[in-house]
Structure 1
Amino acid sequence: MSNPYAIVAITKHGVEAARKLQEKLPGSDLYYMKKFEQGDEGERGIQLFEGSVRLILPDLFQRYTGIIQFISLGAVVRMIAPILQDKKTDPGVVVVDDRAQFAISVLSGHLGGANELTRIVADLLGATPVVTTASDVQKTIPVDLFGRQFGWQIESFERATPVSAAVVNEEPVVIVQESGEENWWSFDKPLPDHFRVVGSADEALELRTEWPWNAALVVTHRLLSTEQELALLANGVLYRPKNIVLGIGCNRGTSLEEIESVITDTLQELNFSPKSVRNIASIDLKKDEQGLLDLCAKYGWGFDTYTPAELNEVPLANPSDTVFKFTGAYGVSEPAARLSSGASEWVLEKRKSGNVTISVAIVPSSPITSQLAGGVATS
């Protein structure tokens, strides 16, 4: 199934409520017992089953990102217990009572999206949402979802649990933000006093002498030094924002391996993480360059291209007549990186290696929101 949600019901009243929910919830498939067949199931794409619902749950767990069950909470807990795998892969599970009075987030509230799905289902049914995740209840930072709306990637889940505990227990937590979107605080209240925001890893280490923090949330595209890593990640979580843009120029037919090697060496020299690469950028003559297409497919990167006229709008310190002769643009990698990133300057203006020319720019951070004012330690 291509739809993300499965709705399951096993009682008469549950089926009626489930049918109404499917009509209102886009991207949902409905399953219920054959004995409640009403004759329009084929037309509506409703799946009927016989026997215990327990038999179809393993398949639903594999095929859907969210499962809404009109079944008693205790029964659901017993049925799903043997098929649970991992919080990073298990679907979100929501339970609705037989009269559709309550929608309860049961499994994978954050990573699986059950908490948000619970609120959606409750709103559609006119039910009361029940969410017990501490960070949701307290309206604080959900460590395992921090920056997810911006595409930030967690480097490691190893310390997510103890760091989450520090957050919800209101222990001192330092937020190190060297890059990435800054408008992540979405609540209509100032950032609580047990958080401090600093602009660099070194500043966080200095802060610890006067404000002993117990945990750290680190947002950076930069590779940490050994000292910084030991201090910040002993009880911290590292997030990689998607803010590096690579301008690429290359000769026709340049292999994926050669382009990849130049990128790897360049990022290593700049001390940047490849996990923070958002996209590559080039001239539109390269939009079908197989090596670049293969590179983007391998890493899941975007690929922006620009016409020669667009590229020539970017002032260059060293325009190339040779490049202009073959492409109509006085430069490729440098202006493409600037245009795609929106940056006013380059981290690396241009470097040529073999058949590849590379430029690097960083996407500018958005202004920090006013709600943070109460908890910011300015740099």
Structure 2
Amino acid sequence: MAKRYAAVAITVNGIRLALKLGERLADTEVFYYAKYSENVQDNAGIGRAFAEPVKALLPKLFRQYEGLILFFSLGAAVRLIAPLLEDKRTDPAVIVIDERGEHVVSMLSGHLGGANRLTRQVAQLLDSHPVITTASDVQGTFAVDLLGSEFGWRAESFAAMKTVSAALVNGEAVAFLQESGERGWLPPGAVLPEHVRLCGSMAELQEAPFSAAVVITDRQLPEPEAAALGERTVVYHPRSLVLGLGCNRGTPLEELEAVVQGTLAELGLSLLSVRNAATAAVKGDEAGLLALCAKYGWELALFSPEELNMVALEQPSEIVFKATGAYGVCEPAALLSSGARDLVLKKKKSGNATIAIARVSFAETEGNKNE
């Protein structure tokens, strides 16, 4: 299995530095030019010699690794990497280090690919100077295209990402509304610019003067709201919803999926904001449930009858108790998994399935609260 990073060196000093980094940066594989490696000691056995031109090697590494660490000139790196570029959302991080190890330069995929983070990490390990040129990092604020990435937030669309990012770094009025999700999204050490206005409600946002907007919500914005916000708006969906699911034995994926999609649509909630599903432990082998979770990348939280019965229910069911040992499944499972006290949706029965929805209870994040 490939490691996360590939360090590539083509000079004697570069090879020494690459091997030094490989010993200090976990999950790094070092590739060095065989022609200049005779007098270099690979004591840790982490290096792989190559004889082919580096121009032939890089395309393979570009597709295989999460990040490339290149120990040669920035100009050479630009010429070699340029033909390989595809999309900022999928291209790996690329950083460049001079052969004396004085500067570590974030070259490609600084935000989404993590090159800026990797640059700082490598610079610390080599006692070098990090060189980062992305505007949000230089200004010490947040990056719109990286917002909430550590929490798994998902952008509804990337269409407006560039224009909203430009508004932020150019000092234009930006309105910011957070309806759900984790509160500690501001990076450590970063500050909220004065031209960013934190709004307490959608009504306040719509009344505020702004040239661009950022909205964090688990709702699917209705057309009138979306139209009022305009095209220069980025909508992020935090993973803040838990689906409590119950079903008869053998309920197929298609029926469960239709229930989930239809219910979320009725409530105006986004499928992108579903964090996980939850059910009774006895349903842990239910093929339809497992297929549904696999399709959307959701974890399936399982609870014993004893755990489910700890949650007080308005309408305990003797029928459910006989089948599962618990007086309810979807409601207590949703509450237990989310940590919430109340349900967004109480039990709804549809065909062979039941569904309840809870919103995750996020504790106040230590440190900044973005307030």
CA offsets per residue over residues 43-69 of structure 1, 9 Å max, x none? 724221114211111111100110000
Q: Which residue matches 1:146? A: 147
Amino acid at match of 1:98: E
Q: Which residue matches 1:338? A: 335
Partner Cα separation in structure 2 for residue 239 and residue 25 of structure 1: 32
Partner Cα separation in structure 2 for residue 62 and residue 155 of structure 1: 26
Partner Cα separation in structure 1 for residue 332 and residue 169 of structure 2: 45
Q: Which residue matches 1:17? A: 17
Q: Which residue matches 2:53? A: 52
Q: Which residue matches 1:310? A: 307
Shift of 1:171: 1.4
Q: Map of 1:237-316 to 2, 5 A cutoff?
A: 237-316=234-313
Q: Which residue matches 1:33? A: 33
Give the TM-score normalised by the residue count of structure 2: 0.96
Counterparts in 2 of 1:259 and 1:300: CA distance versus 1, 3 Å: same
Q: Which residue matches 2:233? A: 236
Q: Map of 1:361-376 to 2, 5 A cutoff?
A: 361-367=358-364, 371=368
Partner Cα separation in structure 2 for residue 59 and residue 248 of structure 1: 44
Partner Cα separation in structure 2 for residue 18 and residue 56 of structure 1: 16
Amino acid at match of 2:6: A
CA offsets per residue over residues 296-315 of structure 1, 9 Å max, x none? 11000111010000000101
Amino acid at match of 1:351: K
Shift of 1:99: 0.5
Q: Secondary structure at the match of 1:69?
A: strand
Q: Secondary structure at the match of 2:104?
A: strand
The answer on whether the counterparts of 1:190 and 1:372 sit within 8 Å (CA) in structure 2 is no
Q: Secondary structure at the match of 1:156?
A: coil
Amino acid at match of 1:171: E
Shift of 1:140: 0.8
Higher relative contact order (CA 8 A, sep 6+): 1
Q: Which residue matches 1:125? A: 126
Partner Cα separation in structure 1 for residue 239 and residue 305 of structure 2: 26
Q: Secondary structure at the match of 1:340?
A: helix
Partner Cα separation in structure 1 for residue 358 and residue 338 of structure 2: 6
The answer on whether the counterparts of 1:189 and 1:371 sit within 8 Å (CA) in structure 2 is no
Q: Map of 1:64-213 to 2, 5 A cutoff?
A: 64-188=65-189, 191-206=192-207, 208=208, 212-213=209-210
Shift of 1:41: 6.0
Shift of 1:40: 6.9
Q: Which residue matches 2:356? A: 359
CA RMSD of aligned residues (A): 1.8
Partner Cα separation in structure 1 for residue 367 and residue 126 of structure 2: 36
Aligned partner (choices 209, 213, 216) of residue 219 of structure 1: 216
Counterparts in 2 of 1:365 and 1:232: CA distance versus 1, 3 Å: farther
Greater CA drift, 44-53 or 302-311: 44-53
Number of residue pairs matched?
370
Partner Cα separation in structure 1 for residue 292 and residue 138 of structure 2: 42
The answer on whether the counterparts of 1:191 and 1:372 sit within 8 Å (CA) in structure 2 is no
Partner Cα separation in structure 1 for residue 145 and residue 69 of structure 2: 22
Is there any run of 5+ residues in structure 1 with no aligned partner, and where? Answer: none
Partner Cα separation in structure 2 for residue 248 and residue 167 of structure 1: 41
Q: Map of 1:318-333 to 2, 5 A cutoff?
A: 318-333=315-330
Amino acid at match of 1:48: A
The percent identity for this pair of structures is 51
Counterparts in 2 of 1:17 and 1:253: CA distance versus 1, 3 Å: same
Give the TM-score normalised by the residue count of structure 1: 0.94
CA offsets per residue over residues 146-182 of structure 1, 9 Å max, x none? 0111110011111111111111112111111111111
Is there any run of 5+ residues in structure 2 with no aligned partner, and where? Answer: none
